[in-house]
């Protein structure tokens, strides 16, 4: 019996030791790449010779030769998309990885709300990705990787992007698209209603009356709508005379223009011209383009980044166009904006990240992204050369021209808003407070007082 017990104890001991065994087995596996590293590096160095004729961009390849990275590194790229951006980005990343076999880039496509709500916390906690596509330029102040010391040609980088944007980003990335807000109009519905489109000097009140008439004549559910965000509200408010950002760069909500436009929105809401769900349901960004695409809305105030998605979804179901921003006491202005690709300071692979950044903002790659996504370029060289957009759809080309024509009309504050260090304090708080006003929870005065208080508190806390 004792022998049996000893035997089984031996058996159990063997099992316990066996459980530990994989650690020993794994060690050579870990070591292998170290031994093979020079072998991996060789093709990387050789590649430029093979691919030179295809890429035609010496700046991309230089860092590979000059500053080879010892290990195969993995970069995580958090990415949101309004339309086809991820589909256009992935082939570019594939091309980059083919040229840089020592770098693997994983594109994590997430909803916009993840970038808006979760990414700042992840980054601050040191758990963020290496790169991300963002819209809130000021949200990551002090947390981005200064690319100037890492890219092979910092002068080119600084000279080819708008200085205010690079400053707002702390030189931690580059804008991948330049956007302008403006209204989309269903041209077919106007034609069916027998109503002519108004001229460039039409006001928001004119458009309200006309779209209402079109909706009534054609049996369309809604006349007009505007995305649920303070960003989209800012343009019409400035056009109606609002000085949202004063001479001291402070936010001032209580202006005639802001009151006038929010009041106009309230009338859209109360008279059923705008879907109530657009502003009253959810707590985040809602887009009016969803109603526009199904021809349930005559006019939708959104922005240039919606061109690609609208063209793809509407197809030839109806004709649509982008019209100039309606005029008012403050002129006619949309809001400049855009998205940016940024690198985080916490990355363990700054050289690899810088290499990827250089690849993405190289003119031919940047142009390919603009062309594929139908986005206005923010890269100076690409803008000067022009982009051969991947579309022969006349609505798309006309929309791109219409938005380009909006750029010179932008007010100074409309350009500054998106790079204002505290723009974040205005955007979301304004959407929530305006929604409360539309729901009848607050009066206009209360809404303005509360919104100003929200912004002041947020700025005071951010300065702590």
Partner 1 sequence: MAELSKTKKYESFFGSIGHAIVSGFDVFFGSIQKITGIKGIPYLFVLPNLLIFGIFILYPMILNFVYAFTGGRSFFPDQRTFVGTSNFERLFTCENFLLPNTCREDLFWRAVHNTVVFVIAQVILMILFSLITALILNRDIKWRGFFRSVYFYPCLLSPIVVGLIWQWILMDSGALNGILTGLGIGKQPFLVRANWARFWVIMVSVWAQMGFYTLILLAGLQSIPADLYEAASIDGANKWKAFSNITMPLLMPTMVVVIVLTLIRAVQVFEIIYAFTGGGPGTATLYLVQFIYNYGFASPNRQFGVAAAASLVMASVLIVLTLAQLAARREESY
Nearer to partner 1, 72 or 280 (CB): 280
CA distance 266 to 224: 12
Q: Is 345 in the site for partner 1 (CB under 8 A)?
A: no
- Say which residues have a Cβ less than 8 Å from residue 238's Cβ, sequence separation at least 6: 244, 257, 330, 331, 333, 335, 411, 413, 414
How far is CA 171 from each of CA 142, 294, 422, rounded to the nearest angstrom? 10, 41, 18
- Select from 110, 280, 285, 371 the one that contacts partner 1 (CB under 8 A): 280
- Select from 145, 226, 415, 438 the one that contacts partner 1 (CB under 8 A): 438
Q: Is 442 in the site for partner 1 (CB under 8 A)?
A: yes
- Kindly write out the interface string for residues 89-118 of this chain, putting x where it contacts partner 1 by CB under 8 A and - elsewhere: ---------------------------xxx
Minimal distance, residue 186 CB to partner 1, in Å: 18
Report DSSP state, residue 115. I
Report whether 202 contacts 327 (CB < 8 A). Answer: yes
Q: What is the CA radius of gyration of the chain?
A: 27
Alpha-helical (H) ranges within 307-443 are 307-314, 350-361, 363-373, 380-385, 394-406, 412-416, 423-439
Q: Is 281 in the site for partner 1 (CB under 8 A)?
A: yes
Please give the residues from 12 up to 51 whose contact with partner 1 meets the rule CB under 8 A: 12
Binding-site size for partner 1 (CB under 8 A) equals 44
Q: Is 440 in the site for partner 1 (CB under 8 A)?
A: yes
CA distance 355 to 392: 33
Q: Is 275 in the site for partner 1 (CB under 8 A)?
A: yes
Q: Is 9 in the site for partner 1 (CB under 8 A)?
A: yes
Minimal distance, residue 205 CB to partner 1, in Å: 25
Minimal distance, residue 125 CB to partner 1, in Å: 5
How far is CA 3 from each of CA 7, 8, 13, 16, 257, rounded to the nearest angstrom? 6, 9, 15, 20, 95
Token match 């458009």: residue? Answer: 207
Report DSSP state, residue 347. -
Q: Is 425 in the site for partner 1 (CB under 8 A)?
A: yes
Q: In terms of Cα–Cα distance, which of 378, 82, 418, 438 is closest to 238?
A: 418
Please give the residues from 128 up to 157 whose contact with partner 1 meets the rule CB under 8 A: 136, 139
* Contact residues for partner 1, defined by CB under 8 A: 1, 4-5, 7-9, 11-12, 116-118, 120-121, 124-125, 136, 139, 275-277, 280-284, 424-425, 427-429, 435-436, 438-442, 446, 450, 457-458, 461-462, 464
């Amino acid at each position: 019996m004792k022998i049996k017990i000893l035997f089984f104890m031996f058996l159990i001991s063997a099992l316990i030791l066996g459980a530990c065994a994989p650690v020993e087995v794994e060690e050579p596996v870990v070591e292998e790449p170290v031994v093979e590293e020079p072998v991996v590096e060789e093709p990387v160095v050789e590649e430029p010779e093979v691919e030179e004729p295809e890429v035609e961009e010496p700046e991309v390849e230089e860092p590979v030769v000059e500053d080879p990275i010892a290990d195969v590194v993995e970069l995580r790229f958090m990415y949101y998309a309004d339309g086809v951006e991820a589909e256009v980005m992935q082939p570019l990343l594939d091309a980059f990885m083919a040229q840089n076999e020592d770098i693997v880039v994983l594109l994590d496509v997430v909803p916009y709300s993840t970038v808006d709500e979760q990414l700042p916390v992840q980054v601050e906690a040191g758990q963020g990705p290496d790169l991300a596509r963002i819209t809130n330029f000021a949200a990551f102040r002090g947390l981005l990787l200064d690319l100037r010391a890492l890219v092979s040609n910092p002068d080119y980088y600084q000279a080819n992007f708008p200085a205010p944007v690079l400053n707002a980003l702390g030189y931690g990335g580059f804008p991948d698209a330049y956007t302008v807000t403006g209204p989309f109009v269903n041209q077919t519905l106007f034609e069916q209603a027998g109503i002519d489109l108004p001229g460039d000097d039409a006001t928001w009140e004119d458009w309200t009356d006309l779209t209402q008439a079109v909706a009534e004549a054609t049996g369309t559910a809604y006349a007009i709508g505007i995305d649920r965000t303070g960003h989209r509200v800012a343009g019409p408010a400035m056009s109606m005379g609002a000085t949202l950002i004063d001479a001291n760069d402070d936010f001032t909500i209580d202006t005639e223009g802001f009151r006038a436009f929010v009041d106009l929105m309230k009338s859209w809401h109360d008279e059923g011209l705008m879907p109530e769900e657009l502003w009253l349901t959810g707590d985040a960004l809602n887009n009016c383009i969803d109603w526009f695409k199904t021809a349930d809305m005559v006019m939708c105030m959104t922005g240039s980044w919606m061109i690609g998605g609208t063209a793809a979804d509407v197809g030839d179901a109806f004709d649509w166009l982008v019209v100039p921003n309606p005029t008012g006491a403050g002129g006619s202005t949309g809001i400049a904006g855009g998205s940016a690709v940024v690198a985080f300071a916490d990355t363990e692979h700054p050289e690899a990240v810088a290499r990827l950044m250089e690849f993405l903002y190289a003119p031919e790659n940047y142009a390919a992204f603009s062309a594929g996504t139908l986005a206005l370029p923010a890269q100076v060289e690409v803008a000067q050369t022009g982009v051969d957009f991947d579309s022969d759809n006349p609505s798309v080309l006309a929309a791109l021209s219409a938005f380009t024509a909006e750029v010179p009309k932008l007010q100074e504050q409309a350009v500054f808003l998106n790079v204002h260090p505290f723009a974040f304090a205005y955007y979301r708080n304004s959407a929530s407070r305006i929604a409360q006003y539309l729901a009848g929870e607050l009066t206009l005065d209360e809404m303005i007082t509360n919104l100003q208080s929200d912004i002041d508190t947020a700025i005071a806390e951010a300065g702590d």
